[in-house]
Structure formats: structure tokens, C-alpha cells
Structure 1
Amino acid sequence: MVGASWSRGDWTWLVLLSLLALAARCIRLGHQPFWLDEVFTYQRIRLDTATLIADSFANRHMPNYFLLLRSLMPAQPDFAALRLPSALFGALSVGVVFAIGRRVAGRFAGCMAALLMALAPTQVQYGQEARSYALLLLLVAIALWGLIGLAQQPVRAALGWRRPDNLWLGWVAWFAGTLGALDLLGDAMPWLLASNGALFCIWRHLRVTHPPALAHGFLRNWLWIQALVLACCLPFYVAICVASNARMLDVFDWVPALSWRGLWVAAGSIYLMRPAEVVQFGLMPAGAAVLSPCVVVLCGLGLFRLRGRMEGRVLGLAFAVLPLLLLAVSLVKPMLVPRYLLWSALAFFVLAGVGAAALPQRWRPIIAVALPLLCLLNLWPVYRVEAKPRWDRTAAMLATVARPGDTIYVDDPNAPAMLSTLQPRSQPPLASKALVTGRLDLAVARWRQGSRVWAVNGRSALGQRESLAGFEAKLAALGHPQQTTALGREITVLEFAPPPAG
């Protein structure tokens, strides 16, 4: 029953679904190489504490995740080790989603919501990244769980702190999750807006339907907690603002302009169970395209079932505020990127779980079998498709073939960092044998002096990649390449032998 104490069956389902999520995130955890953001993580956690903090603020990041990751990692972590905390955080967030769904609409709703969260391709992808998004999901999920509790029992939430029946656990969960998310990543700032909008709805409901003393009590508790959150997180944002010279939005210059295709990619990857390309603004092929409309219908049913209920308003705000806000900002400054929408999927999947529970009882066995199968079909491309550029193979190849005096020309400004970080540890540093440069004029000058040139065409992060034909045309001064080697879908290495003597 909704709101009843947990039975052994509830705990069993929570553990099973969390283990399913962990397994989905641990499969081939170290198979894909690091992409640019993960390389930055690897480099940052190897800094001393003071430099790590300064570097984080200068690059508009909170230092807390990197400090935490550094405390958990060995001296030389590999791909899998650096990503394992994210897999654990992602699995724990699935357990919290189950708890939210169960609290709103019962065990079946919790199971379906957690199942979608556990096997959503984009959620699995970011649960396999050495970045803070999976931890952010967990913290926002904890805050949402507390917020739903406040919405369900507003009278207890309005009582004084010293009252034994005060809903202190709901307030603590919202406070801890919100503060932790804000002190982790700036992506959580819209959550502060969405959750405060939900708290306003709860206060307004109390003001209309209950004695004024209860509305005043709820407002008092809300303002005290809100002041504490702001006091604990504002210093971090001031530090970022100062370190970046108040130019915080300049970091988003790489985001593609707003377009219908961009809207489809963002919605498809976050809400419609489609796996996303990491360095291309696109979607991978869907294993079961029918799943996308099914999830939309279930979410709509969930909203319909919760109409008029305070939990429905809370979940609606938690789902809608972030995409609408980013869409509005993107009209001026493009910011609509799938990973910035990631935490709004929590409420979306809970609503879909509520919608599944609203269907006739006789349909539940069919849903319980069909939904996991469709989810697994859609998840399969995440494991088999090359989603990240093979800079590891490129670094290994160049470390083997480059000789002293060679020149390595790269057209991606971040390629030197990718090559130095991902080269085999058994090889001497690539820079000790060859000059790695992004200056074409320097590469051409060294070639004319007898240096062999290796030209690398590829990208390390989201953005436009120059076509291979255009890249070769730019290198016309070097003549025809002696050899062309494709390393995956994103990277091609061209070898130019030095000119004949004389």
C-alpha cells in the first residue's frame, strides 16, 4: 500500500533493481576510452589539493567531486577504476527512484520507474563516465524523495522542529540532496528553482485549506532551510565567478545553435530511451523504436493519474522546469545539451512508472515482461557501438611508430592532452621523441627540413570535425600521404615522408 511501512518484498525489489542497474553500468566499463572531459578528470585528480581547487574554479567547476574521486583512486587508475564510482552512484540513484515511485503510487510504480532508470541508455552512458553527473543524479533523487514526503504530509512538515512528529526526515533529505547537488555541479541550479516552486505550491495549499498557523509554520521551516542552503553554497559560486572574471557563460561557446534536430536529440536521449553519441550531436540507432512512444504515453498517464494531487505538481515541476529553462536560455545563448538535462529524467521516469501502475491489473504481467525486453534492446548499442573517439589507439600507434625528430600535427586543440594522457605507460612520453603541434606552418617548416610528419584528423569532444578531404587539402604543401590509417570512426592518421634531399 502507498505510504505504508516497507515490507521485505519492497526491500528485495530495491536491492534487485539496484543490482541490475549496477550490472548494466559495469558491463564493458573500461572498454570505451576516455574522451576529453574524462581526461580532464584524470589530470585534475593528480594535482595537489591547492592546485586542484584553483584549477576547478578557474574552469568553472566545483572541486568537491574531484577531491572525492582522488581520495578513492589508486595512484595510476585505469578507465574502469576511474568510472566505477559513477557506476555505484548511478545504481544507488535507481534505488532512490524505486523509493520515490513506491511512495507516490505503490510497489509496481516504483519497480517500473526504477527499471526505466536502470536501463535508460543515456543514464547508463553517464554511469560509465568519470564525471560527476551520476553523483548529481543521486543527490537530486534524494532531495526529490524528501520533497515528495513534504508534499504528502504538509501538516507534519509545518510543525516546529522540536515537535516529535515533525517531518524532519523529509526536510533533511531535501536539504542534504539540494546542498550536495549545488556544491557538486552548477547544473543543479535549476533544481533549486524547481524545488522551491514545489515548496511554494505546498505552502499555498496549506494557506488555502488549513489554519494560518500551519502555513506560517511551513513558511518558517522553508525559509530557515533555504537560508542554510544558500549560506553553504554561495561561497563556491562566488569563487567560480571571481576565478572566471564573471564570464561564466563563455564556457558554452561549443554548444550547437538551437535547432529542431537539437531538440530531438536532447529529448530522445534523455526521455525517450535512445542512446546518444558522445562527441557527435546525434542519436545511435534504436534497437526498439516502439519504446519511445510507449514511455511518452506512460508519462502522460502518470500525470493524468496524479492530477489534483500535490505529488503530481512536484513531479511535474521537477520534470519540466529544467528543459523549459534551458530552452528559454538557448534562445539567447545555446545551452541545450543532453547531459545538462540529465536529472530531469528522474521525475519523468517516476511519472512513467505511475502511468504503468494506472493501467488495468491484468496488463501488469505483460508490462513486466515486455518493458525490460524493450529496454534491453535499446540499451544494446551502448555496448557495441564506438561512442568515443579512439585516442587510446591513436596514442598507442604514434608511441610505437614515431621516431626522434618526427612531427605530429593535430587539428584538435585538445589532442596533445589526449595523446599524452592515453599513451601506453610502458612507452616513453611521446613529446620526448616528436614535436606535437597544432601549428601547420611549423609542421610544414619542419617537414622541409627533413622531418617526417604524422597528421592527425579527429575530435576529442562535441563539436565540428573537419572532413578528411578538407584536412588533406589543407596539407597540400606536404604532398600526398605515404600512408593513411583510420582508427575508429572519428580519427584518421596520415603519414608524410620527408621530402627528397636537395
Structure 2
Amino acid sequence: MQKIFEKIDEKSLILFLLAVAFIVRLLGADSFSLWFDEALNFRIVSNPWNVLWISNYDPTPPLYYSILKVFISPNTSELTMRLPSIIFGTLTVFIFYKICRFFFTKIDSFLATILFSLSVHQVEYSQEARAYATQLFFAITALYYLLTILLKSPMSKMAYSLYGVFTLCALYTHNISVFYVVSYNMIFFIHVIKDREYKKIKPWMLTNSIVFALWLPWPLVTVLSGEGNTFNWLKHISFGQFILSSAKSIKVSADPDSVKPWDFIFIVAMVYGLWHCVRREQSNLLIVLFSLAFALLFCVWAVGFYKPIFMSRTIVGSTLIAYLLIACFLSGINKKLKIASFGVLSVFHLLAYSNFYLERYSENEQWKQAALKLKSMGASTVMLCSQSPSWVLSYYNNSAFDIFFYDNSVNGFYESERYLVDKIDKRRSSVGEVLYSNVFKRGDNLYFIDSHCSKETRMKFNDMFELMEIDMENYRRIKIFSAEIHKY
């Protein structure tokens, strides 16, 4: 087997990896509805370019939104919205293979990368219209060029430049990239001190200074505008819970709340890989693993007491560490056992992927189904009473009907335009004939959606309208009513 791999051209192996990764990420990417944040992204990127880059309406940097904007149109499908993540998730597999080649043979790198491409965590984030797959691609590409600076000679000025470009792209894609930069500086300085390559410090400091200067406008805008979210509504976890959540994030299975037998086997393989790495004194790889784990896990947990939103973003970094350890495991066993172990791990990954594919369900599927139901009934106007804006409903509405949100603070309605994010139409109407003449028209095909309405608010609707519930047995937490205006 080893001899066969040595004869195969590396470009052919890479093309095979890319094909497998792309197909796995493409399958089923359009089989579930957008969830809350994906639909929000659609609304955000529908804004003009100057709003994306100048106005701070969201604490997430604007590069991913700008990439996504190229792909969308008013009739964009779920698959098209997720396509940037699919593409960058696929390219991440290629970069992972290139990183493995710094430390492992062609066969060990190839086998570990196949497993990495099948990771349900990587697939899940690559099938989500969010910034995380794109951020990971930029971040680990920066890591690749950092390793090029440290492990290849002679010193390449181009490697410094490319490291700077991809680091800056990562920082402008998601704020969690700051932790990656921390790990990269740890890797660099530990390596430089260990090998006494002090001549690399000057170009390194210059590169990072340029990156920092170009990135600085973003955090300044975020802080000075005062629009950043503290995310204090998220749960702060203890150190013990942090260890447990980190362990869950490196499992084969997708479900974070269950552990299957193959998860234990996968973790045992990683532990063996770490032991083999220490025993063989692979110091360069140990520096990478330690620095990534310290910055992406421990530092994220520590900072999580201020911004707990970061805690749920460590999983893609965790998988990077996990599969480097799996590559260590494969490199530490003999040829026959290597292929057998790879076969067993592949079966586990395929089983986990199959469960993920068959059982995946969007938390906002009910809003998609509600929109389709309303469109099938020819709704022209829909009133919505909900605890949060239904961006998913707006996305699937596709301008088939007008949506009015009830505002309890003024006892009236306001209209939410589909492409508006936070510049909501301020025209508000009072209850009574003014409401009906200015907002709703006599003869409108009028419907009301109740999603967690308070008892008091529901009574107000009963006073204003004659409501008749429509059978919604398949729509969780949502009730749809036909509505007729009481005559005054």
C-alpha cells in the first residue's frame, strides 16, 4: 500500500480529496430550511455595500457578508446561500492536507485528511450560511504559511506576505480569529527561541504590525459605536464543564449530548497519537498542538466570561487539533494495522455522517412550512405576534404577502420590509378605524400568526379581529389564524 501511494502523483490525490470533500458537503445542503441566523444573514447582505462596510449594525466583521452578497439575489435558494461555505469548507480540506505534509508521509496525510473531510462537525459548518467555514479556511491557510516560514528554507518573503493577507482576511471574517493569531504568535516565538532563528523576528513583527494597522479600524468602529453585543444572555460555564464541552466537540458523532462507542475509540486513537508524538519527540508538531489548544480552547473559555458567544465557536478549531492527532496515531502504527484502523475509523465516520444526514432538522422548519401554507392559501396580509423577528418567515415569504409585526409598547403595528435590518419603518398605527384604513384594507386575505403571544396581547387581538384557527399540527410553537376585522 505504501509503495502504491508513493507512485501516485500528489496532484491526483489532492483532486480526489477535493472531490470527496465537495460531494460530502453538497449532499443534503438544500434539504433543510434556513435557521434564524442564516435568514438574518440574507437580510444583512441585501443591504448596499456602504452599509456592509461602514455601518456597524452587527458585531461580526463584514468580509463574509461581502462574499455572500456576490451569491445572492431576491430569489436565492438555500443551496446558493450555503455555497460559499461549501466551497471554503472544501478548500479547508486541501489546506489541512498541506499542513499534514509538514509532519507526515503522503499516505498518513492522505488517510487523516479523508477522515477530516468526513468529520460531521466540519460538514455541518460547511453546510451553514454563516461565517465559520470561511473563517477556518483563511485561518488555517495563514497557519500553513506560518509553518512555511518556520520549517522551510531559505526564508521566503512571499510566505510572510501571504501569511499577512490570510490572517487579515480571517480577522475580517470573524472575531474569533483573534485567538488564532494568539496561537500563531505562540508557535512563532517558541520556535524562534528553540532554534535561535532570531533573524525571522524583524519581518514577522513588520508583517503583524501591518496586519494590526489594517484591522484596527474594525474593532474601533465596533467599540466606539457601542453596538457590540455582550451576549450576557449566554451561559457561563465552569472549568469542569469546559473540559467536558471540549471533549464533546472532538467526537465523531454530531449530537453534542450523546456519546457512542465509536466516540470513545476515536478519543483513544487521539490519545495514542499524542503519546506517539511525545515519544518520537516531534517538537515542531507538539508546539503547534499545544499553542492551538491553549489559544482556541483555554483562552476562549477564559474570555468566555466576558463574551460567552465564543464558547460555541471552538468546535471547528477543536477538529483541527483532533485530526492532527489522528494523523499522529496513523503514523505511529505499522502498515497493516494502519489500513485496518483507517477502515474502522472510516466506517465510524460514515455511520455518524449518515445519522447526521438523515436526522438533521432545522429549528426553524416550522416557519418555512408556515410561509408555504400561507402562500398556498393566497394570504395577502399577515400579522405576526412573536418574541423575536421572524427573518425565516420573511425569507420564505418571497414578497408573496405583506407582514406586519405587533408592537405591544404602542399597541399597534409596524411593517417590516424584507431587505431592512434595523431601519424598520417607523409608521405605527393605533387600534381602531385608523388602523384598518391606513394599514389593512377591507377584503384583504388576512391572517394572524401567534408565536408565544402573551395572554394580554392575545386578548387584544381577539378584541380587534374575529380569529379562526387553521390546522397546524405539523408546525411546532406556531398557530395560524384567519382573521376578519371587527366592524366599528
Shorter-chain-normalised TM-score: which range? 0.7 to 0.9
Amino acid at match of 1:22: F
SS at match of 2:103: helix
In structure 2, the residue matched to 1:52 is 52
Shift of 1:300: 2.1
Q: Distance in 2 between matches of 1:426 and 1:182?
A: 35
In structure 2, the residue matched to 1:198 is 187
Q: Distance in 2 between matches of 1:135 and 1:261?
A: 30
Q: Distance in 1 between matches of 2:170 and 2:276?
A: 26
In structure 1, the residue matched to 2:42 is 42
For residues 359-396 of structure 1, the C-alpha deviation after alignment (integer angstroms, 9 at most, x for no partner) is: 12221221232221111111112211133221211222
Residues 321 and 351 (structure 1), Cα distance of their counterparts in 2 relative to 1, 3 Å cut: same
Q: Distance in 1 between matches of 2:380 and 2:70?
A: 38
Query: Which of 371, 394, 406 is equivalent to 1:395?
Result: 371
Q: Distance in 1 between matches of 2:482 and 2:232?
A: 37
SS at match of 1:84: helix
Residues 17 and 340 (structure 1), Cα distance of their counterparts in 2 relative to 1, 3 Å cut: same
For residues 190-216 of structure 1, the C-alpha deviation after alignment (integer angstroms, 9 at most, x for no partner) is: 011110011111221233xxxxxx51x
Amino acid at match of 2:372: A
Q: Distance in 1 between matches of 2:102 and 2:142?
A: 14
Q: Distance in 1 between matches of 2:370 and 2:65?
A: 27
SS at match of 2:31: coil
Residues 451 and 167 (structure 1), Cα distance of their counterparts in 2 relative to 1, 3 Å cut: same
Q: Distance in 1 between matches of 2:307 and 2:45?
A: 31
For residues 460-494 of structure 1, the C-alpha deviation after alignment (integer angstroms, 9 at most, x for no partner) is: xxxxxxxxxxxxxxxxxxxxxx855233xxx2333
Shift of 1:175: 1.9
Query: Which of 212, 223, 227 is equivalent to 1:230?
Result: 212
Query: Which of 454, 474, 484 is equivalent to 1:486?
Result: 474
Q: Distance in 2 between matches of 1:453 and 1:261?
A: 51
Residues 219 and 148 (structure 1), Cα distance of their counterparts in 2 relative to 1, 3 Å cut: same
In structure 2, the residue matched to 1:464 is none
Shift of 1:110: 1.3
Q: Distance in 1 between matches of 2:84 and 2:480?
A: 40
- What percentage of residue pairs aligned between the two structures are identical? 17
Residues 116 and 168 (structure 1), Cα distance of their counterparts in 2 relative to 1, 3 Å cut: farther
Gaps of 5+ in 2: 1-5, 405-439, 441-445
Shift of 1:87: 0.7
TM-score relative to the length of structure 2: 0.80
In structure 1, the residue matched to 2:228 is 248
* Aligned-CA RMSD value: 3.1
Residues 292 and 486 (structure 1), Cα distance of their counterparts in 2 relative to 1, 3 Å cut: farther
- For the Cα contact (< 8 Å) 2:381–2:403, is it kept in 1? no
- For the Cα contact (< 8 Å) 2:384–2:403, is it kept in 1? no
SS at match of 2:60: coil
Q: Superposed, which structure 2 residues align to 1:390-429 within 5 Å? A: 390=365, 391-400=367-376, 407-410=383-386, 412-415=387-390, 417-423=391-397, 425=398, 427-429=400-402
Residues 294 and 364 (structure 1), Cα distance of their counterparts in 2 relative to 1, 3 Å cut: same
Q: Superposed, which structure 2 residues align to 1:74-89 within 5 Å? A: 74-89=73-88
Shift of 1:339: 2.6
Query: Which of 239, 243, 249 is equivalent to 1:270?
Result: 249
Q: Distance in 1 between matches of 2:185 and 2:301?
A: 20
Gaps of 5+ in 1: 1-5, 157-164, 208-213, 277-281, 455-481
For residues 251-283 of structure 1, the C-alpha deviation after alignment (integer angstroms, 9 at most, x for no partner) is: x2342231589547743553122214xxxxx44
Shift of 1:286: 4.9
- For the Cα contact (< 8 Å) 1:302–1:351, is it kept in 2? no
Name which of structure 1's ranges 395-404 and 126-135 shifts more when overlaid on structure 2.
395-404
Shift of 1:133: 0.9
SS at match of 1:492: coil
For residues 150-208 of structure 1, the C-alpha deviation after alignment (integer angstroms, 9 at most, x for no partner) is: 3324xx4xxxxxxxx4233432342222121112110100011110011111221233x
SS at match of 1:31: coil
Q: Distance in 2 between matches of 1:261 and 1:494?
A: 41
SS at match of 1:409: strand
In structure 1, the residue matched to 2:10 is 10
In structure 1, the residue matched to 2:408 is none
Determine whether 1:185 maps to 2:174. Answer: yes
Shift of 1:406: 7.0
Q: Distance in 1 between matches of 2:388 and 2:359?
A: 25
Q: Superposed, which structure 2 residues align to 1:50-129 within 5 Å? A: 50-55=50-55, 57-129=56-128
Residues 361 and 40 (structure 1), Cα distance of their counterparts in 2 relative to 1, 3 Å cut: same
Q: Distance in 1 between matches of 2:251 and 2:328?
A: 16
In structure 1, the residue matched to 2:463 is 448
Amino acid at match of 2:164: F
Shift of 1:126: 0.6
Q: Distance in 1 between matches of 2:479 and 2:167?
A: 50
Residues 403 and 64 (structure 1), Cα distance of their counterparts in 2 relative to 1, 3 Å cut: closer
Amino acid at match of 1:193: V
TM-score relative to the length of structure 1: 0.78
Q: Distance in 1 between matches of 2:161 and 2:318?
A: 21
In structure 1, the residue matched to 2:337 is 363
Shift of 1:449: 3.4
Query: Which of 328, 349, 359 is equivalent to 1:354?
Result: 328
Q: Distance in 2 between matches of 1:68 and 1:405?
A: 33
In structure 1, the residue matched to 2:24 is 24
In structure 2, the residue matched to 1:166 is 155
Residues 453 and 235 (structure 1), Cα distance of their counterparts in 2 relative to 1, 3 Å cut: farther
In structure 2, the residue matched to 1:474 is none
- For the Cα contact (< 8 Å) 1:272–1:295, is it kept in 2? no
In structure 1, the residue matched to 2:137 is 138
SS at match of 1:451: strand
Shift of 1:426: 7.5
**How many pairs does the alignment contain?**
437
- For the Cα contact (< 8 Å) 1:22–1:91, is it kept in 2? yes
Name which of structure 1's ranges 442-451 and 334-343 shifts more when overlaid on structure 2.
334-343
